Chain A
Amino acid sequence: MDFFAQQDTTRRTSALLLLVFFLALGAMAVVVHLTIAVLSMVLGETENLWQSSVPAMAMTGLIWLTMLLGGFFRALDVRAGGAVLARRYGAVQASDRTRHEHEQILLNVVAEVSIAASYPQPDVFVLRNESSINAFVVGSTDANIALVVSQGALDLLDRDELQAVVAHEFGHIAQGDLPMNMRLLIALGGLNALDEVGQVLVGKHPDDNAHPGVLVGYLLRGLGSAGVFFGSLIRAAFSRQREFLADASAAQFTRNPYALASALAVIRDRQEQSALHSPHAQELAHLCFHVGSLVPWYRRLLASHPRLQLRIDAIDPHFAVKKRTRRRTLKDSTTVDGVNNKTAGNNPKWTGVGSPQLAVVGGTDLAVDARMDINGSGLSDRIVLLLPDESSCLAVLFALFASTDPIKRQAFLDAVSFSYNPEFSEQVKGMLARMPGELQEDQLGIIQHATVLLSEKLMLESRQRVMMKLEKLLPLTGDYNLVNYATLQLIRRKLAVEFPIIDSLTDTKLVSAEQRRVKTFDAMGQEFALLLSLMVESSGSPSETMNQDFERVLKCYTQTPHSRRTGNEPGIVEELEAAFQTLYVQPKTIRHAFVQHCIEIVQHDGKLVPAERALLDLFAASLGCEELAAAA
């Protein structure tokens, strides 16, 4: 990336947009004067357009006064200073004396980047309750800038990525985006005031009392809202250019575009959660490092940030390739490292010696686990090659559910052909023939690849339709078991379709109000027992261990003994859904503890088979504790 050249281009574009913005403001002033002149002529106050009457002058004065006052109040708001604004958003000043190790790193990183940018250090704040990845700068003049970073960014990004994000924010500061943004906000505030005054004049029931004020009100509203609309449009385009500019500046400061692209990729992968949760989310939206996810084109026009993929491509067009190669080398080294730790842990005598034979055995073991890793760190090349586009990814998702039994498989294909079309069914069949091994063994890899691709290419509505088709189809195949159910829910979560939207869950007949209520631990024994038995069963341990695990963990939740259930009982899926519904409304600490227990059971034997992983993800997602399962 030639960041100097890129900076020049974006700077030119944004200067042009700024010019357009102020030209539009000027044009609005002309329109205001013309409209009033025409109105006063029509109403018979004056004979021609150039003669001004007292009411017309009063009207013009009123409009300008409103705009100036609106801008003035907005200015008071934004001039409050960065630290004040940051505190208002609930941020806490970062300090090197806290127990939080990450904050020390953050302060160091800010100091480093401030040297790289040759800019004084801003005050650093942390949004401690914000688990999404976000960062922004607030403030109006150089002296009172505050840099705010969310706790999620501190927890989820590594040091280099954090540095890149901080450098991006420094890019905004260094390019003077803050004062510029403030001026645009003030101008928009003035226009907004026009609209609001118009609203007051029109009143709630304009038909009841038709006095001349209503006409003026409509005029003001029309001017104000048109101004606000076009102003926001230009401002959004301007802001998007400034994002590219800040990215290019970040690359200049850190000379590490890879880290920035990688941070953006982390945010993209977590897109479903990246919206701010703080009560000031709406206000903050225009300041954030990243907002929202896939949006239709008309919303994108008003988005203050360009799409993440565009930004990643601008920073480093070959990022995806580099990431794959880097991951591979990283994985090789960590595998060896991990084994050394393992042996060291098991036999303290062997510390640091590391028998090569053990390393090989353990190495392959861990490598297999890594392939099962939900983040797809070891996506096989075959999958990537065989599933290059949306239609193949869609087909493979359906192929996942085809049974191995030839008759049932044919029935499934017929059902697919019935609910979609015969061509699609043929494609699914082709998938089954082309990659039988992967469909059995690397389901998670397939799901990961296919869902990432589909989430990028398809809009939310289409993804919802896909999920609905899958849901309708599965019970028809007569092969609807727990594993299929878990796989389906995993796909749902990966496609970022809201969880859960199954009809049976919202159906009041199945889930009575009684079941939804917060219950005591003991009363939920049955639900816990059900979930636990399924979890224990999926671990594939000998039946002795299963029973032990089951009883040990269940004791933490209830005193009443429950028998262990098995996954192939009829109607188990419906029961499971009802159990989720009951448990989901319980306090988060309980759900957390339960998922922790599940993770413990799963990791008992040191490896993670796909069935375990799928079930664990399903439980965690259904109980609202995704972050725990992702960390496991």
Chain B
Amino acid sequence: MMCVMPTLAASQPLVITAPAAPGGGWDQTARAMQRVLTTLEPALNVQVDNIPGAAGTIGLARFIQSERGNPQALMVTGLVMVSGAIMNGSPVSLANTTPIARLTGEYEVIVVPAASRFQSMRDLVEAFRADPGSISWGGGSAGGTDDMLVRLLAEQVGLPSSRVNYIAFAGGGAALAAVLGGQLSAAVSGHAEFAGQIAAGQLRVLAVSAPSRVRGIEAPTLRDAGIDLDLANWRAIVAPPGLSISEQEALTTLIARMSASAEWRQVLIQNGWEDLFLAGAPFRQFLLAEQSRIEDVLRRLASNDRRPAGVRLSPVTVPYIAAAALAGLALVVVFRRPRIEPIDPRALALVSLGLLSLPLIVGTLGFIAAAAGVFVLTATALREGRRGVTVSDVVAATTFAVAVFLLFTRVLGVTLPGPQVF
């Protein structure tokens, strides 16, 4: 095959950042891309880099900062990052990246337990309108797709989004357990997470958040139920800022080719993902529209945060009580002047120096130097007699640090920073 992508060099790896821990949707997307791209372009060295944290915003910040101008870097992103960046007050957002393409998505389903009195979306909405607080909606993390769908739905049926009694659960499993156990009125999630229970007749799907009926999901859309709303938990690919037009085009061509391949079809079917491929100007417009829709709902939510009557625990009530108790107890302990046994300042200082140097040296000279350094300082501190650094300490430290480094990087495939001299 002819070289289709003039600027993608086979000598440099193409690194796909998954801004999440291994196992989640973003990671699965990155690893599926790695597999398909390697099949399509055997010469290309595709790597996946997981940078988990804070709805992907930690990965986003690091991607923008350290990959700027790198034409061989991509990041998986999605709807959750849009709201995450707003809610966490992140200084950077997707607007700071170079959009490449929307790839896949999953539509959300609204389910109730099989024994629920709600037979249709209309029944549920009627009860919700009559007494919003009495309907407990369960789903994933606050600010995630599930949460956003319920807030948008409330606004569509004429309720302020702050009246929604949304109960966030960590991960899909816990929300599923709570709705199956009848603890919740309704639950919201991607269809795949509930598919087993739906097939077994334990959950009833009231509506799906797609613009039109979805094959394989036996349920009306929200629009069928008279609610003008659709929402996909979409996943997209972005590149770092500072790329030339031709570099952007090379990446877009590659992703488009991957998305059209038979191997990618297979991935979509296996994971139950919808093909939502969209690139170029339409994708950029779509991103802007999603950004403003999410921003609006979150802003209205923050501005009229109405609290129900009665004793209410805010998110900081218990933490503040704990912190106040800690401060009080610390004062009591200090006031009582605890008897502190004499300490050896030299040894303590040496070990502390080693620990404090770790973060600095790991980032610059690499892991081996940092590890050997902390080893030597600790051994010197603990040795009997006031001798300084010995040769045998240095030899032992270096050997051990190199062995650990090789074990983790070569055998276990965990990336550690280091001068890759081996």
Q: Are these two chains actual partners, yes or no? A: no
